[in-house]
Amino acid sequence: MTPIEQSDKRDDHQSRLASVGQIAAGIAHEVRNPLTAVKGFLQLLGEQTPHNYIDIAQQELDNAIVTLQNLLNVSRPDAESEPMVGFSLCAELEAILGLFQDQFYRVAVNKHFTDGTTEIVGRRNQLKKVFFNILKNAFEAIPGEGTIEIGHSLEGDSVRVSITDTGVGIPQDKLAMLGTPFFTTKTDGTGMGLAYVFSSVYQHGGTVDVQSVEGQGTAFTFHFPIRGTKERDLAFMDLLYEQDMKLGEFLKINRGEFEHCLLAEAENVKGIIEDIKRIGGIDLVQNAHILVGLLIDQNDWEIINFAQQEGKLWAQHSSLNLAVKLEWFQAIRRVLWSFMYNFDRLSGNESTREQFFSLERQTNNSLDTFLRHFFMSYTKFKDDQIKSHKEMIDDLSVPIIPLTSSVSILPLLGMIDSHRIHVIQEKVLQQIGLLKIRTLLIDMSGAAFLDTTNLRKLSRILNGISYMGVKAIITGIRPEVANTMINSKVIIDRRIETKGTLQQALEQLGLNLN
């Protein structure tokens, strides 16, 4: 086919698709929504009074909704707006082929892949669907045994992919119908596959050629422009742009695409956005827009405020992982830069080196300001939280429990380290005054470990209590503690009593617990 013919055919297809697209969009709004509502009511009905007709009706409705969705996808395959990335079609073809393994017993597949590292620029999943549809048709066209040849090669500045089958072929008069939505010769066909293929390939700046001989087979040949050196590492995006637009406006009208790219970048965050909204009431997507807006306005003071707010919110919810926030932040940074690149590209007046580096400084400075203040506020809140937790734990670790108006008990539990000793000293002296304690029982049967230094300190506290006129009774001294006392010659004031068990001490005080 000559280039003119090629483009005629393409325009023809595109106008046909465009008119179908308009109808589809109209239908979708008018019909899909009520259908979805009907489905909802049916479900409610089904829950009240189950009936198998309801199940059938729901299935039929599902089919209708899927058909509408397919029609929409065909008319606008990029509606799912995937980011454009550089990738090799070879790898994708290999992966798709794997989905047809159950056919390999009857159809031989021969691959002729060369130039496997050559990349094209495109929407990876969209093109995956394209080749899935082509291969599906090829397998379906072969009634019994047959062969499919798949080729990949570099041809000038485009990648050529060919898929040839030894199937039933297509009659010459039907060739022109290919790509028209709903055109199918299969009893259970939808006629959507090729329509999707054609419009997707055109959107990628590619071409499709079909050669077919009835009874012999069909060959589909595709050409896609290869990724030039200029596009390397930079994402070329189809974004809206109007003459003399400001970066802020550009980001605003491409808001949807920005969100989409952000979610694609932050792979691990994507799935938990809803959870984060539910748990912490934090809307990450919304916050990304706010941050970007502040960056564009270069409002550093607001950035700091926002960062502090966010840091605190994040710290308040222990279930929110900091790694998630970091990944999200990095995704914002990356996507913002790709958008700035595309803005620069679309605006046509390419910036000078000085302009670029000044923009780089400004943007990265502001982003760093955000991150710094986020972490400062996060850490401060966490530190405060830890401090107040510690105070609470300290309080709980030295419980002085009043038994009568003058008798209290202090059970020492667990590890008694120098920090605990310190807390014990403060609390005991304070509580003695407060509770007017005359007798303090100190039960050590639950104390796990006491080294010489801490034992000395403890004995000093006990002696102090005695000096204050309080009778101290120590119970439950464990053999290892007694040993340390003897070995380190700890002297206890003679007014301090010791008793084997807490029970004995209570009995002596006339406090029978039985």
Give the residues lining the site for ligand ADP (CB under 6 A): 133, 137-138, 141, 165, 167-170, 178, 183-186, 189-195, 218
In the complex, least distance from residue 77 CB atom to Mg ion, rounded to whole angstroms: 15
Binder of residue 185, out of ligand ADP, Mg ion, none (CB less than 5 to 8 A by kind): ligand ADP
**Which residue, 18 or 323, is less far from ligand ADP as judged by CB?**
18
**Which residue, 149 or 300, is less far from ligand ADP as judged by CB?**
149
Under DSSP, the state recorded for 31 is I
Binder of residue 430, out of ligand ADP, Mg ion, none (CB less than 5 to 8 A by kind): none
**Which residue, 170 or 458, is less far from ligand ADP as judged by CB?**
170
For residue 484, give the amino acid letter.
T
Contacts of 21 (CB under 8 A, 6+ apart): 74, 75, 76
In the complex, least distance from residue 109 CB atom to ligand ADP, rounded to whole angstroms: 14
Q: Does residue 342 touch Mg ion according to CB under 5 A?
A: no
Angle between helix 353-397 and 322-347 (nearest 10) = 170
CA distance 164 to 218: 6
Q: What share of the chain is helix, strand, coil (3-state, %, to 5)?
A: 60, 15, 25
In the complex, least distance from residue 110 CB atom to ligand ADP, rounded to whole angstroms: 16
In the complex, least distance from residue 135 CB atom to ligand ADP, rounded to whole angstroms: 9
Which residue, 442, 447, 435, is CA-closest to 481? 447
Binder of residue 168, out of ligand ADP, Mg ion, none (CB less than 5 to 8 A by kind): ligand ADP
**Which residue, 120 or 130, is less far from Mg ion as judged by CB?**
130
Binder of residue 88, out of Mg ion, ligand ADP, none (CB less than 5 to 8 A by kind): none
Binder of residue 183, out of ligand ADP, Mg ion, none (CB less than 5 to 8 A by kind): ligand ADP
In the complex, least distance from residue 212 CB atom to ligand ADP, rounded to whole angstroms: 7
CA distance 192 to 201: 14
Under DSSP, the state recorded for 476 is -
**Which residue, 133 or 475, is less far from Mg ion as judged by CB?**
133
CA distance 104 to 9: 34
Partners of 87 in beta bridges = 120
Q: Does residue 193 touch Mg ion according to CB under 5 A?
A: yes
The phi and psi torsions of 472 (rounded to 5 degrees) equal -105, 130
Among residue numbers 124 through 153, which ones bind Mg ion (CB under 5 A)? 137
CA distance 413 to 399: 10
Long-range contacts of 295-298 (CB under 8 A, 24+ apart): 295/336, 295/363, 295/366, 295/367, 296/247, 296/248, 296/251, 297/248, 298/362, 298/366
**Which residue, 127 or 239, is less far from Mg ion as judged by CB?**
127
- Three-state secondary-structure class, residue 39: helix
In the complex, least distance from residue 133 CB atom to Mg ion, rounded to whole angstroms: 5
**Which residue, 137 or 377, is less far from Mg ion as judged by CB?**
137
Find the Cα–Cα–Cα–Cα dihedral 117, 122, 127, 128, rounded to 10°.
60
**Which residue, 33 or 63, is less far from ligand ADP as judged by CB?**
63
Which residue, 217, 95, 229, is CA-closest to 147? 217
In the complex, least distance from residue 69 CB atom to ligand ADP, rounded to whole angstroms: 15
Binder of residue 324, out of ligand ADP, Mg ion, none (CB less than 5 to 8 A by kind): none
Binder of residue 141, out of Mg ion, ligand ADP, none (CB less than 5 to 8 A by kind): ligand ADP
Binder of residue 484, out of Mg ion, ligand ADP, none (CB less than 5 to 8 A by kind): none
In the complex, least distance from residue 95 CB atom to ligand ADP, rounded to whole angstroms: 20
**Which residue, 122 or 193, is less far from Mg ion as judged by CB?**
193
In the complex, least distance from residue 1 CB atom to ligand ADP, rounded to whole angstroms: 18
The total number of residues written for the chain in this structure? 514
Beta strand 407-411 with 439-443 is parallel
CB atoms within 10 A of CB 462: 21
In the complex, least distance from residue 167 CB atom to ligand ADP, rounded to whole angstroms: 5
Residue with smallest beta-carbon separation from ligand ADP? 193
The footprint of Mg ion (CB under 5 A) covers: 137, 193
